Amino acid sequence: ERSFRGAITALQVRAETLASEFDVAGTANILWALGTLSGSLGTGWVPRKRTLKALSKRGVELSPHFKARDVSNSLWAVARLQLPCMAVLAERLETCLADVVASANAQELTMALWALATTRASREASASKAAPLPERIWQPWCQAAIKHVDEFNAQNVSNALWAMGKLRKGGSSRDKRLLAALEGRAVVLATTLTAQGLTNVCWGLAKAGATLARTSVAPLLSAVIAQAPKLSGQNASNLLWSLSILLAVLRGGDDGAPSEVNACKPSKMGRAAVASLLERLGELVETLSDCDIATTLLGAAKLPEGHRIDQAMLAQLCSRGAQVARGLHVSQAAWALWSLAKLGIDWETGPLPCLLAEQVFAKASDLSDQDVGVVAWALATCHIPQEAGRPMVKALWRAANALATQHAQEAA
């Protein structure tokens, strides 16, 4: 491996020297190769900054001549590498995408959208504000995707739906048509989806606000049941959350209108799918991460009536949560506290409610409007002792006032 890495370094140095002579294909191919190597060589390996700067400069110069494949491969590489020195190239590639997307095939379309969503998600995670995807890019992408959706393979479908969920796309009538088309394609390919692919499909549909067609339920739930024994903790928790959303409202009838069919009468298959996920999570409970615990609790709390988590399993989750909860982001802690209250966990039941509350109030100024309301409801529901609750309510009040002032200033 050492000699291989040495060869890669030598090639990067040579690419840096020749960068100004590369044509479109050469520039895009080397960017793609470096993006691929960043995954195969592990998280400790980073390409040479000077090489990336030279390639990025050449990419910007050649970008008016990029075809769909060049744009998608380069965007994908930029998203994989996530390095500030490529920011100018990333902006230029996004501009180019709108011009070439009509000629893109299924693979190029989904690579590009995955890259756009990944880049924005990374910016949000680093607390820098990510600009929403411009309509001038999203509108032609949707048109092209609907045109090619029957050519999407399982990975294309899962990546597209994951990206739509990350980009919070799904509210317009056009978005809903695309979601329905991707859902239909996912159903056709359900038996070929990997565990990660199935998770991406269900998570993306739920996050984008899709309502499943009745005919989609059986194939997708069958896939969940089949995949459950080999799911990772992250996939199992995300699938549980996804099903808690998707099983609540289904799309039925010729008019496609949503109807609440599962609220009181969960299907046998729905119960089996949820049970299979809870069983898998029970097997993995001692290895679940802080995010896995928070997502599982939220999914369990949001499950429609008829799908209930076993109290012994809930106790295991709370015990594990108390071990790992300190790693949660303040918003995750707020929703985990809400989940416990929704599931009937009182303040005195164990240490987890107190641990979550401590985290929330240590960073109360970072709470959003919705988070403040969520925490207030949770505190009122979980029977917090007055002595402990009074300072927490004061902190919430200060956070709410700060948010109100901020919104007033923004409105002015």
Q: Cα(21)–Cα(28) distance, rounded to whole angstroms?
A: 13
Closest listed residue to residue 112, CA positions, set 130, 126, 98: 98
- How many H-runs (helices) and E-runs (strands) does the chain carry? 19, 3
62-76, 294-308, 378-392: the lowest-pLDDT one: 378-392
Q: Which CATH class is domain 325-411?
A: mainly alpha
pTM of the model: 0.86
| Residues 341-386 pLDDT 10s | 999 988 888 899 888 988 888 887 888 888 888 888 888 887 777 6
Of 228-237, 310-319, 403-412, highest mean pLDDT: 228-237
Model confidence at 87: pLDDT above 80: yes
Average pLDDT taken over every residue of the chain: 87
Q: Find out whether 315 and 293 touch, Cβ atoms under 8 Å.
A: no
Task: Give the angle 125-199-227 at the CA atoms, nearest 5°.
Answer: 145
User: What is the percent of the chain where pLDDT is above 90?
Assistant: 51
Q: Would you mind telling me the total number of residues written for the chain in this entry? A: 412
Q: Cα(69)–Cα(312) distance, rounded to whole angstroms?
A: 52
More confident residue, 203 or 403: 203
